Structure 1
Amino acid sequence: MSKADHRRRWIREEGAEKSRASFPELFFDLVFVFALVQLSHTLASDFTSATAGEAALLILAIWWVWINTTWVTNLLNTEREAVRHMLFILMFAGILMAIALPEAFGEHAMAFAAIYAAMQIGRSIFTAYAFFGADRQSAVAFMRISIWMVATSLLWIFGALADFEGRVVLWGLAIAVEYAVPLIRYWVPWLGAAPKETLSLAGEHMAERCALFVIICLGETILTTGRNAVEHMGSDMTFAVFCSAFVSTVAMWWIYFHHGQEKAAEKAENTGTPEAVAHNLFTYGHLPIVDGIILTAVGEDFSLSHSEDRGEATHVAAIVGGPALFLLGNIWVKVSAGSRFPLSHIVGVCLLAGISVASFALPNYATSLCATIALLIAALWEYVALRRMSSAMQG
């Protein structure tokens, strides 16, 4: 067997079952539980406008590593040893990157930048090599991606060498470029832009992988809330706030999984333009959902550790802003998936806006309870509306 024929076995076959996540992929996701715990803990311990900006950039970086790896595992057969080994190497690098996260803008800047760059470049080159001799268009597509990853990696490395202000500028530019180049189909000189719909994607698999990442984020929220509840059990409001936090997490699960995730999977699987739909629904569409869950976890931390405080803009931004961002992300995904416009989510966002105004006169625990009620109203409204619509169609 030639090397090219051997590499063809690394690629998912057209007729293979592609809709289910494999065990190596689930194993890989465990790294990001640790990364998200690191990030939310860092935010909760020092939440200012500066640290919020730093965390936003780091969340963008973590998501970009994960979603690009998901695209690769959608195309390659993770049951093959070479692909598994690639995932295990990425796992180890991801753990090191997560360790560096709390000081990514400090003394661990170079470690974070170097590991991030190595993960992005290494994965892209490996995938290009896997397709070489088997699928020329896909191989060239990942060559384009590799070129862009090398270019932005220079910005990450130079940013790590710069002072703090320069680091923010260079890293911000790097992540902005990385998020923008898929929109121009990874255009590079001489090679041009990648043809539309080059890659043979499995939409249902992408939908499931993103749904699993949402579960990871929700699970991280429960873990963080439970840990903080133990630390602040002496407070009179701890149990009530903990119950509120748990209910809000369940409400977010319901809002995402009851209707939206299924419609996104159907849209991605049945479309004639899987790449464009995958970018809209998953690469970009799920980002505010993930950000909103992480920010909600930070807000629940504040509700437990600073339950009696009031008027803190940073606390309000997390307690109210997290659920609002989550609802806005769900609006994006559900509208893109072809669902009816979720008026319930707009009502939830409007309620949260009103809560944010009133929150400056309320203690954090009360603001958190109100935010949970807003999420519950959005979830119940959508549930009742969908039941009525289903009954009307059956009738």
Structure 2
Amino acid sequence: MTALSRARLRPMRPRDPHEPGRVASSLELFFDLVFVVAVSIAAVQLHHSLTEGHVREGILSYGFVFFGIWWAWMNFTWFATSFDTDDWLYRVLTVLQMGGVLVLASGIRPAFEERDYTVLVLAYVVMRLALVAQWLRASRHAGPSRRATHIYAAGVTVVQVLWLLSLLLPAQLTTPSMLLLVVAELAVPVVAESTGKTPWHPHHITERYGLFTLILLGESLLASANAIIEAVHEAETLGPLIAVSALTLTATAALWWIYFWPPHHHAIRGLRGSLLYGYGHYFIFAAAGAFSAGIEVEIDLLTGHSSLHQPLASFSYTIPLAVFVFGVWALAIRPCADGWVNAAVPLGSLLVLVDPLLPVPFALTTAILIAVVAVLVWRQQETEQETAQEGEDA
């Protein structure tokens, strides 16, 4: 009887969006780690493209590749917050999606070097169709969310057919067709949630986003550290490499501090806020993944292996930093911060962005990010003191 009960499938009913103590599962964390493999390869290919001077092509390829990675991750994450049963079939379909990620990773290099997206698209379709199976299963016991599950399943299936058909188009139509299909992918949740809402757990969702951000920052820090260690043997002097090392550590710590300063769950109370938060994280995640590529480009310049010259080489890391900081401010900090913070954070992102045009980029970038963090610490302490004083007065 025990073996039989374990083999049975649990009804995939909508989960309580107010469930106390809801946290990320070990399967979700395992799922994230597999995705970081693809992110790491995409960052490496972006680094090679930038170093060789193929800036526009590299950024465009990185944008498309990262969309596939991010979109598959995000759709699984939002599905899981609504219908995670953690039974054997749910796990098998999730592992199937993870296998698709690994195949997708093998297609990243051809996408960058040959503009051949065949493997990448096929792997992406496998991941998405595995999620369609989850949506169809969820529709059986979805209750008020049943209509939304049907729209998700039908919409995702149609778009995957279009992805496969796009492989038959001539090369000159690849970019415009992919842009149209990206728009189609983004439209499916908008239609589904506007027609029949699925429940989501704000704390669980924001925890998932925060954990993936931590993994991306860790991957960038590791890749940057490895590049610096390898460059030690080729650099004529260690001073510039020490400066890059200090910048890398300080910047990564500052990004972590800035991201986790605000309470993110307040940003996804309604449909509009949830869509903005979910979609806007594409830029935050992509920037976190690209930061290491920018640091490696800067190291290549110092060791004489880059086709880029200043200030373009420095822009390769200041742009990701600026996008990350501004994105976090726009999505999570701005709604809950005071005037000081809402002035300091976007100003800091702008100063980081234009830093390569100034004579001392390393020191200035570090100083700007430290100043932004200092303002956050100051205002948080002021707020806590004011709250404590109000409590005493009451």
Normalised to the residue count of structure 2, the TM-score between the two structures is 0.85
CA contact (8 A) 2:47 2:297 kept: yes
Over 3 Å counting, the alpha-carbon distance change for 1:171 and 1:241 in structure 2 is: same
CA–CA distance in 2 between the matches of 1:140 and 1:318? 45
Distance 1:169 1:388 in 2: 50
Q: How many angstroms apart in 1 are the aligned matches of 2:97 and 2:74?
A: 13
Q: Distance in 2 between matches of 1:354 and 1:10?
A: 50
Partners of 1:240 and 1:286 in 2: CA distance:
30
Q: Which residue of 2 aligns with 1:388?
A: 382
Q: How does 1:145-294 map to 2 (within 5 A)?
A: 145-183=152-190, 185-186=191-192, 194-195=195-196, 198-234=197-233, 235=235, 236=238, 237-257=240-260, 259-260=261-262, 263-268=263-268, 271=269, 273=270, 275-281=271-277, 283-294=278-289
Q: Which letter maps to 1:113?
A: V
* Matches of 1:325 and 1:164, distance apart in 2: 31
Query: Separation in 1 of the partners of 2:75 and 2:356?
Result: 35
- Residue 308 to residue 369, structure 1, CA distance change in 2 (3 Å): farther
SS class of match (1:102):
helix
Measure, in 2, the Cα distance between the counterparts of 1:142 and 1:29. Answer: 24
Number of residue equivalences:
367
1:295 correspondence with 2:290: yes
2-side partners of 1:18 and 1:394: how far apart? 27
CA apart distance, 1:63: 0.9
Which segment is superposed worse, 154-163 or 209-218? Answer: 154-163
1:324 has 2:298 as partner? no
Q: Paired residue for 1:95?
A: 102
> Matched residues in 2 for 1:21 and 1:242: separation?
33
Q: CA RMSD in A?
A: 2.4
SS in 1 for 2:255: helix
Kindly tell me: are residues 340 and 280 of structure 1, through their superposed partners in 2, closer, same or farther at Cα, counting changes over 3 Å?
farther
SS of residue in 2 equivalent to 1:116: helix
Which one is further off, 147-156 or 19-28?
A: 147-156
C-alpha contact (below 8 Å) 1:138/1:199 kept by paired residues: yes
> Could you tell me how far apart the structure 2 residues matched to 1:118 and 1:21 are?
24
Deviations 1:322-355 (A, max 9, x none): 1110111111122565333522212202312441
Counterpart of 2:121? 113
CA deviation profile, 1:77-111 (whole Å, cap 9, x unmatched): 35311111111111111111112112125375222
For the residue of structure 2 that corresponds to 1:306, the secondary structure is helix
SS of the aligned residue for 2:330 comes to helix
8 Å CA contact retained: 1:19, 1:208: no
Which secondary structure does the structure 2 equivalent of 1:200 belong to? coil
Over 3 Å counting, the alpha-carbon distance change for 1:209 and 1:177 in structure 2 is same
Q: Contact (CA 8 Å) 1:104, 1:112: kept in 2 or not?
A: yes
- 1:40 positional shift: 0.5
Instruction: Please give the secondary structure, in 1, of the residue aligned with 2:86.
Output: coil
Corresponding position of 1:10: 12
Give the gaps of 5 or more residues in structure 2: 1-7, 390-394
Q: Which residue of 1 aligns with 2:392?
A: none
Match of 1:338 in 2: 336
Residue pair 2:228, 2:299 contacting (<8 A) in 1 also: yes
SS in 2 for 1:265: helix
Aligned equivalent of 1:128: 136
CA distance in 2, matches of 1:109, 1:170: 12
- 1:35: Cα distance to partner? 0.8
Deviation at 1:71, TM superposition (A): 0.8
Q: What's the counterpart of residue 21 of structure 1? A: 24
**For each residue in 1:220-263, what CA deviation from the matched residue of structure 2 results, as whole angstroms up to 9, or x when unmatched?**
11111111012101322223311220111011101111x22xx1
The 3-state SS of whatever aligns with 2:23 is coil
2:38 is the alignment partner of 1:35: yes
Q: 1:215 to 1:43 in 2, by over 3 A?
A: same
8 Å CA contact 1:248–1:372 kept in 2: the answer is yes
State the Cα distance separating 1:293 from its structure 2 match.
1.4
In the alignment, the residues of structure 2 paired with residue 370 and residue 290 of structure 1 have an alpha-carbon distance, to the nearest angstrom, of 24
CA shift in 2, pair 1:333/1:136, >3 Å: same
* Gap change, CA 1:206 and 1:278, over 3 Å in 2: same
> Per chain length, whose mean CA-contact separation is higher, i.e. which structure has more relative contact order (CA < 8 Å, sep 6+)?
2
Counterpart of 2:366 in structure 1: which amino acid? Answer: T
What residue in structure 1 maps to residue 5 of structure 2?
Answer: none
14-23 or 89-98, which moves further after superposition?
14-23
Judged with a 3 Å threshold, the aligned counterparts in structure 2 of structure 1 residues 326 and 13 are, in CA distance, closer, same or farther, namely: closer
Q: Distance in 1 between matches of 2:198 and 2:294?
A: 40
Aligned AA (2:106): I
Task: Check whether the contact 2:41–2:105 (CA below 8 A) recurs between aligned residues.
Answer: yes
In structure 2, the residue matched to 1:3 is: none
Counterpart code for 1:250: A
Identity of aligned residues (%): 20
